[in-house]
Amino acid sequence: MTRFHFSTTLCAAAFAAMFCTCTTSWAKDDRKPAVLAPALQKFVDDSTISGAVLMVTSPDKVLALETVGSANLESKETMKQDAMFWIASMTKPMTAMGLMMLVEEGKLSIDDPVEKHLPEFKGQMIIEEKTPERVVLKKPQRPITVKDLLTHTSGLTGNLPGEGSVLDALTLHGAVVGYAISPLQFEPGSKWQYCNPGINTLGRLIEVKSGLPFAQFMQERFFEPLGMKDTTFWPTEAQLKRIATSYKPGPDNKGLEATTVKYLSPNLKDKQRMPLAAGGLFSTASDLAKMYQMVLNGGKLGKKRYLKEETLKLMTTNQTGDLKVSFSDGMHMGLGFHIVNTPVGVTEALSPGSFGHGGAYGTQAWIDPTRKLAIVLLIQRAGLPNSDKSDMRAALQRAAVDAFGKEAAAQ
């Protein structure tokens, strides 16, 4: 067995305005009482969150679009329906769908070794032994595959040292080279471990196999055709003014204090910050409604098909077997989507087989295919121990299912 000693740190859809009159702290329509916002009001009252935009859609129409609380506590700006949010890891399923477009076109297979398309991954090693004095490397039993990237089972390292502070300097290509030369943490396919670098590598694969920069591919293949005018890696000056302020717990966990989104960098206007395939997007509830209507319709919206129905079925069924997924009990992994196979605890309102993804600052989007509903929670709350287990998510999903679940399932 070949071994190497390694001791240095690697651096390297048209929607009507359904709720227009303010009553207490949420927006509603006088003809139809709000059904979602009351469930989130208590979290505003106790300063868990500053405010939220809440949305439920069926395959063909938005059933509810409501707001609660404030977009900015200091200015007392009321949360608006078109507020923008950093959706963070909700970017991941979109990246995965982009990759699967190229799979459908025959440009690669999910079973391909990554090194087949990205030569920098050839000869990648795995950590066999690690002590304070040395790291011993060996050859893995097999190279990582595209499916490993999609399911967080690749064994790729966590974010590169210093990566968070050099987002304006790295390109997506440069970051992926850093991942490739870093040793694997475990045998590919043997374990589930949440992995931003794996999804960023999918973004690079999209670039190589499509011949387009990742952000341009997503814009041309998804965002523009779907009419997602406010979904972007680089908000404009006008869009920046609509981004809800992010908050974290105040001193001694009392109240809230403003915090930053690290992807809003000084070089934003120059688009020098790389478009993070694992978590760089900003969006709105109305934009996300269009994306998830497409998913609810089996990959088609209007006259345009984006993905085959069988492709989405593959992406939204368990692809990791019995491997434990740590975000929530009863959860497994599809291709880019988390799957709720056994709804328990915070996911108990959802049907078995529901799928979706959350984001670092508490945003959530979950699709219940039995009830034919997509449920979206947009908040900007840093410091949550686990946004996928948040009480806000559970409260919204219960309210959405209570209000629309029986009607949607009967259609």
Given a contact cutoff of 8 angstroms between Cβ atoms, the answer to whether 354 and 401 are in contact is no
Sign of CA dihedral 301, 57, 376, 83: positive
What tokens does 81 get? 């329906």
- Banded pLDDT at 208 (limits 50, 70, 90): very high
pLDDT of 28 higher than 50: no
Mean pLDDT of 303-311: 98
Mean pLDDT of 17-32: 42
What mean pLDDT value characterizes the chain?
89
More confidently predicted of 69 and 166: 69
Q: What is the pTM of this model?
A: 0.90
- Banded pLDDT at 351 (limits 50, 70, 90): very high
- Banded pLDDT at 277 (limits 50, 70, 90): very high
pLDDT of 153 higher than 50: yes
pLDDT of residue 262: 81
Question: Which residue type occupies 127?
Answer: I
Q: How far apart are CA 127 and CA 124, in angstroms?
A: 10
Question: Which residue type occupies 301?
Answer: L
CA-wise closest residue to 261 among 242, 277, 282? 282
Mean pLDDT of 374-388: 95
Question: Which residue type occupies 331?
Answer: M
Mean pLDDT of 305-329: 92
Exposure string (b/e) for 125-144, b if CB count within 10 Å is 16 or more? bbbeeeeeeebebbebeebb
* Lowest mean per-residue pLDDT among 57-61, 134-138, 161-165, 225-229: 161-165
More confidently predicted of 32 and 153: 153
Per-residue model confidence as pLDDT tens digits over 221-273:
999 999 999 999 999 999 999 999 999 999 998 999 999 988 887 655 566 68
User: Degrees (nearest 5) of the Cα angle 403, 406, 407?
Assistant: 80
Mean pLDDT of 378-393: 94
* C-alpha gyration radius of the chain: 21
pLDDT of residue 12: 38
Mean pLDDT of 108-121: 98
Q: Could you give the angle at which helices 172-181 and 196-210 cross, rounded to 10 degrees?
A: 120
* Lowest mean per-residue pLDDT among 137-141, 161-165, 310-314, 322-326: 161-165
* Lowest mean per-residue pLDDT among 47-56, 150-159, 167-176: 167-176
pLDDT of 78 higher than 70: yes
Given a contact cutoff of 8 angstroms between Cβ atoms, the answer to whether 118 and 208 are in contact is yes
Bridge partners of residue 27, in order along the sequence: 22
Q: Express as a percent the part of the chain with pLDDT over 70.
A: 86
pLDDT of residue 19: 35
Q: How far apart are CA 334 and CA 314, in angstroms?
A: 7
pLDDT of residue 1: 42
CATH, domain 21-93+217-410, list 1.10.1240.10, 3.40.50.10800, 3.20.20.70, 3.40.710.10:
3.40.710.10
Q: Residue ranges per domain, the chain?
A: 21-93+217-410
Per-residue model confidence as pLDDT tens digits over 157-204:
876 555 555 555 688 999 999 999 999 999 999 999 999 999 999 999
Given a contact cutoff of 8 angstroms between Cβ atoms, the answer to whether 231 and 86 are in contact is no
